[in-house]
Amino acid sequence: IRTQGKTYYDSDNTPVRMLGTVLDITEFKRLQQQKDDFISVASHELKTPMTSLKASIQILDKLIKTNGSSEKITAFIEKANISLTKMQHLIESLLNVSKITAGQLALNKTYFKAGDMITESCDHVRMAGEHEIIVSGDTDIDIYADRSKIEQVIVNLVNNAVKYAPDSRTIIINIVRRTKTVKISVQDFGEGIAYDKIPHLFERYYRVDSTGVQYSGLGLGLYISAEIVERHGGKIGVNSEAGKGSTFWFTVPISN
């Protein structure tokens, strides 16, 4: 329980009255725990049917490619594939939340090229064909990190750039080499973020539009991204201006 307020004393210095607010954070913690537990169970339950659905679509895709099919069917399969990839990303990030809250997020580090990893992470946006993603800077640089986890950070930032910049089609990803790390930034030209909201963005379940009326979401993408980056010893942040757009950036090591 947190209390905040003012105590009034009489002439003998005996407290006579206290005025203030009491905030019960045990209730807040209990609700957080309930959300965490639900996410853990739901993501595990979703994973199995999702994997088999993805396998079926991939077989169908192969059959079509070898035996031929109408353009319409090919287009439907492609659409289904894009949606499935999005769902897989979502389930993967929910599973990671469970691992993070349980302190069990393991890293499997290898060397890989920054540019290749970024191109692969943006495939689903490119396939959807509605946004132009410009990748600039040191694309050939090697990173030493858990590739699938860093891909998840890129996916989260790029998906946000798509979601929170509905009227802009351009997203710029920049790779800059520093002494021992590489800095990757994802820039959008969307609505930006008010200054006073910025300190909360990386908190679990935080959303600027908490009612979800305008944009749907769980408020977990940036929390997961921050945890992944920090586990790699990197830093994450944002430069943003309301009405102009946002540049989310993070650093990762280039060697062990």
Closest residue to bound ligand ADP by CB = 217
CB of 220 to ligand ADP, least distance (A): 6
Residue 164 or 249 with smaller CB distance to ligand ADP: 164
Q: How far apart are CA 236 and CA 143, in angstroms?
A: 16
Residue 90 or 252 with smaller CB distance to ligand ADP: 90
Which residue type occupies 118?
I
Which residues of the shown chain bind ligand ADP in the complex (CB under 6 A)? Answer: 156, 160-161, 164, 188, 190-191, 193, 201, 206-209, 217-223, 246
CB of 113 to ligand ADP, least distance (A): 25
Q: How far apart are CA 129 and CA 27, in angstroms?
A: 45
CB of 225 to ligand ADP, least distance (A): 8
Residue 118 or 254 with smaller CB distance to ligand ADP: 118
CB of 186 to ligand ADP, least distance (A): 8
Residue 74 or 239 with smaller CB distance to ligand ADP: 239
Residue 229 or 254 with smaller CB distance to ligand ADP: 229
CB of 46 to ligand ADP, least distance (A): 17
